[in-house]
Chain A
Amino acid sequence: MRDPSPAGKTLMANMADQAHRRAPANQTEENPSANNHAYEELRHLIMAPEQEELADIQERLDDRARRTQDVSSVVAEAISMRRDQHGERALAQALAPTVQETLRESVRRDPHPLADALFPVMGPAIRKSISEALRGMLESFNEALEHSLSVRGMKWRIEAFRTGKPFAEIVVMHSLLFRVEQVFLIHRHTGLVLNHVVAREVATQDASMVAGMLSAIQQFVRDSFNSKNDESLDRLDVGELEVWIEEGPDAVLAAVIRGHAPSDYRLAMKEALEEIQQRYSSALENFKGDAAPFLSAEELLRRLLAAQHREPAAQKKPRAALATIAVLCILLVAYFGYSIYLMVEWSRILHAVRGQPGIVVLSYDHEGGRYHIQGFKDPLAPDPNTLLKQAGLDPRTAQFDLAPYYSLDDSIVAQRARQLLNPPEGVTLSESHGELHVEGIAAPQWISRAQERAPYIAGVTSVDTSQLQNSHLLQLNGPKSSIESMILVFPIGRAELEPGQESSVAQAQKGIREIVEKASHLGEQTNVELTGHSDSTGIEGTNMLLSQERADNIRSILIRGGVQPSNLHTRGVGATQPLRPEDTEENRRLNRSVTARITFTPTASGN
C-alpha cells in the first residue's frame, strides 16, 4: 500500500493556512499585542477540533497496526464488492496464484488436513470412476465371451475377414433386431438441419447435406406425384437401412434405422415431433439459419436412439448375468468343498498323531499345501508317517519336526522296561503310576537282575515281583510242601516229643537233607525255620520258653539226623500263633507242636 502520510501533511498545511487567512478578517484594528492573546484563543477554538482529528487521521495512517486493523474490518466486504462489480473472473485470476501457492505450501507442511478435507469428495469420485470402468469391462467381456466361442461367432469372424469390416460392426449388424443409427431434426421450410444425433460407433455423412437432400427428395416426390400437401414420403428403404420420416407443420424428423423397427416406433417419433413443435414453435417460425435454440432438443432426439437399444440389450443381459452368477457359484462351492476337505483331512492327521502315546504336539500350521507339525516324540513311539498310512492319509502331505524325549505314559514305560529287561517267555511286564508289575516264572538269575535294574528305568519308581516265581525251585515244591505240612506234637507241659512220631521225624530228616542238596545244586541256599507252639493253658512266659525249647529239641534231632546246622533256625511263639482254634482236645493237642517252613535264597556266587 502507498504511504499516505505526505498527502495528510499537505492537507494539514492547507487547513492551517486557511485558518490563518480567516483570522485577520475577524480582528478589529486594535493593539496587535493586546489582541495576540484573543487571536490565539480564537485560533484554538476554531482549529483545535480539526487538528485533533487530523492528528488522529495522521496517527491512523502512520501506525501500521491500526492500518492493518482498519483494513481487516472491511477486507471481506471489499472482496465480495469487487466480485459483484467485475464478475468472479477478475478476482479469481488475481487470487489464483496465491491460492495455488497456499495449497502447495499446506501440502508440503502436512498433507493430512487437505487430504482429510478432500476425502469426502475423492472417495465417491474414485468409486464412481472405478465402477464405470468395471462396468464397461464386464460388458465387453460378456460380449466377447458370447460371440467368440459360438459357431455363430466363428461365422461372423469369417464374414468380418471376408468383407473387411470390423468384427464389432458385424456383431451389431447381426445381433440387433434393429438399431436407430441417426435422427435428424430438419426445418421443413428450408431443409436446413436443426439438430442431429448419432448412435455410438456409427459413421455418418455430413448431416446438413443429408438433411438438404432428404428435403429435396421429399419435395421431388410430392411434386412428381401431385400428392396433396399433407401427404408425403414417410419411408425410404435402402438395403439394410430404412429412413423413417415424420413431418410436422414446421419441422421434420428423420430416423435412419438399421434392420426393421417395430411399428410403435412410428408413434414414438410422432410424439417426439409433437413435443418439438410445441416447445420450439416460435423458434421454428422465426428460424433464420441459427440452429442454436434447438441444441436443447438433443435429449429428446437421443431418447429416440436409446429407446430402441433396450429391447435386444434386455434379452441379453439376464443370460450373461445368470451365466456369471452360475460360474461364480460353482467356483464358490468348489472352493468351500476343497476347504472343508482340507479341514477334515487336517483334523484326521492331528487326531491320528495326537492320540498316540509317546507323541506330544506343541504346534501346527499349514503352509504350501503341507501340514507342518512340531512337538516331542519318545524313541519308542511309532513313526508318525506309519500312523498316517494306517489312517489312510498320504504321508507326503505332512512334515514332522519332533524332538526326542522320555515319555512317562504307562504303555511307553512298560515298553521301555521290556526293552531293557528283555523278559523271558512266561513273564509279563505292566506298569501303572510308576509301579512295575512283573508276573510269571523266570530263572533266578533273570529275577535278580530284573530286581536290580528295574528301579533305574525312567518312569519306574517301584517294582512288584510278588507274582514272579523262580523256575528252578518249582521242582522242590513237592518235598517242600510235604515237610511244611508236618505237625510234630508234644505232651502238656513237656518239651519231648510224644511217642509214635519217629517215622515222621525220620521222613523230615531225609526230606530236608534232599532239599538242601538239590537247592545247593541250583545255587540256592535252603533256610528251614522251625516254629515252636504251645497251647493256651499255663503262664504266657513259660509257654514262650516251652515253645522255644520244643523247636530247639527238633533242631537237635535234625542235626543228629545229618542236617547242617546252618540250614536250621528256630523260634518260639508260645500260644500267640495257634495252629488251630482250641475248641477240642485234639485241636489243643495240635497247638502243642513244632512246624517247619522252607525258603530259598540264591547263593552269593550264583550258578
Chain B
Amino acid sequence: MLQKKICMLGSFSVGKTSLVRRFVESMFSEVYQTSIGVKVDKKVVRVNNEDVTLILWDIHGEDVYQKIHMSYLRGMSGYLLVIDGTRRQTLEDALALNERVVQEVGKVPAILVFNKSDLVDKWEIDSARESELAASGWTILRTSAKTGASVEQVFSQLAAATLAE
C-alpha cells in the first residue's frame, strides 16, 4: 500500500486538530503538539481504486511564542494550509508561512482549506479574495470540522494530487 506524508499547517486555533479529530485514526495525545510541536495521525483514502495511507503530521499552530520546526516538513508529499474563515489574519499568516515552506521544501501539492464554513456569514474573507487566490494557482476548499462538510474530499483530493506528482 502506498504511504504519503502529509502535513497540516496553519495558525493557532484555525481548527486543524478539529479537522482531523473526527476523520482520522489517532493514537497519540494532543499534549504532544504543545510539547514537541507535532502529533502524527493516519488517514486511509481511496484514490483511483487504490488505498493510500496518509500519515498526517498535525503541526502545532504557529504563534508569537512558538515557531514551527521546519524540519518536520521534510519528506512530505503534500500539505494542507488551513485558515479560519472568520479571521482574516489567519489567511495572511498562512500565506507568509507558505512562502517559508516553499523555500524550505520546494513546490509540493497543497490545498488551501477555508475552515469553519458553517459560520460563513461571519467570514472576514470575501469571495473576490478567494477568486484572486484561486487565480494565483491555489486549490481552495471550504470545510467545516463541525458539520464534517468536505473534510473527506480535502484528504482524497490532496492524495490524488500527490499521486499525480
Contact = CB atoms under 8 A, between A and B. Distances in A.
A573 B131 CA distance: 182
Contacts of A209: 25, 27-28, 40-42, 55
Contacts of A290: 2-3
Interface string A185-206: 0010111110000000000011
Contacts of A189: 74-75
Interface in B1-59: 1-5, 25, 27-28, 32, 36-42, 52-53, 55, 57
12 contacts: A190-B75, A208-B3, A209-B27, A209-B41, A209-B55, A213-B32, A216-B36, A220-B37, A288-B2, A289-B3, A289-B5, A289-B52
A92 interface: no
A281 interface: no
Q: Which of B40, B41, B53, B69 counts the most chain A CB atoms within 10 A? A: B40
Contact of B75 (A187, A193, A206, A210): A187
A212 interface: yes
Given A209-B40, A212-B57, A219 B72 contact: yes
B72 to A, nearest CB: 6
Q: Which of A189, A193, A208, A290 counts the most chain B CB atoms within 10 A? A: A208
B160 interface: no
Contacts of B74: 189-190, 219
B72 A206 contact: no
A346 B77 CA distance: 90
B38 A220 contact: yes
Contacts of A222: 71
Contact of B71 (A193, A213, A219, A291): A219
Contact of B57 (A193, A210, A216, A223): A216
Contact of B5 (A212, A213, A223): A212
A217 interface: yes
A340 to B, nearest CB: 69
B149 interface: no
A289 B77 contact: yes
Nearest to A193: B3
Interface in A156-214: 187, 189-193, 205-206, 208-210, 212-213
Interface string A458-470: 0000000000000
State the 10 A-B residue pairs at the shortest beta-carbon distance, nearest first: A190-B75, A212-B40, A189-B75, A220-B36, A219-B71, A213-B40, A192-B3, A289-B2, A190-B5, A289-B3
B69 A219 contact: yes
Nearest to B56: A212
Q: Which of B25, B32, B55, B75 counts the most chain A CB atoms within 10 A? A: B55
Contacts of A216: 36, 38, 40, 57, 72
Interface in A285-306: 288-291
Q: Which of B1, B52, B162 counts the most chain A CB atoms within 10 A? A: B1
Given A190-B76, A216-B57, A205 B27 contact: yes
A222 B69 CA distance: 10
Contacts of B71: 219, 222-223
Contacts of A210: 27
Given A190-B76, A206-B25, A208-B55, A223 B69 contact: yes
Nearest to B165: A288
Contacts of A291: 1, 3
A187 B162 CA distance: 18
Interface residues of A, number: 23
Interface in A247-295: 288-291
A208 B42 contact: yes
B38 A289 contact: no
A554 to B, nearest CB: 153
A222 B36 CA distance: 11
Interface in A564-580: none
Contacts of B4: 192, 289
Contacts of A220: 36-38, 69
A229 B28 CA distance: 27
Nearest to B26: A209
A223 B25 CA distance: 27
A217 B28 CA distance: 13
B8 to A, nearest CB: 13
A220 B60 CA distance: 13
Contacts of A208: 3, 42, 53, 55
Contacts of B72: 216, 219
A54 to B, nearest CB: 57
B24 to A, nearest CB: 10
A210 B36 CA distance: 15
B69 to A, nearest CB: 5
Contacts of B5: 190-192, 212, 289
Contacts of A289: 2-5, 52, 77, 162
A291 B25 CA distance: 20
Contact of B55 (A191, A205, A219, A288): A191
A193 B32 CA distance: 20
Given A190-B74, A213-B39, A216-B36, 19 more contacts: A190-B75, A190-B76, A191-B5, A205-B27, A206-B42, A208-B3, A209-B42, A212-B57, A213-B32, A213-B40, A216-B40, A216-B57, A217-B36, A220-B37, A222-B71, A289-B2, A289-B4, A289-B77, A290-B2
Nearest to A205: B27
A220 B105 CA distance: 17
Nearest to A192: B3
Q: Which of B4, B71, B162 counts the most chain A CB atoms within 10 A? A: B71
B148 to A, nearest CB: 22
A220 B76 CA distance: 16
A219 B69 CA distance: 8
Contacts of B55: 191-192, 208-209, 212
A191 B75 contact: yes
A210 B162 CA distance: 22
A28 B56 CA distance: 98
B82 to A, nearest CB: 19
Contacts of A217: 36
Nearest to B73: A219
A291 B39 CA distance: 22
A291 B1 CA distance: 7
A209 B72 CA distance: 14
A222 B41 CA distance: 22
A205 B41 CA distance: 12
Interface string B112-128: 00000000000000000
Interface string B62-105: 00000001011011110000000000000000000000000000
A212 B38 CA distance: 10
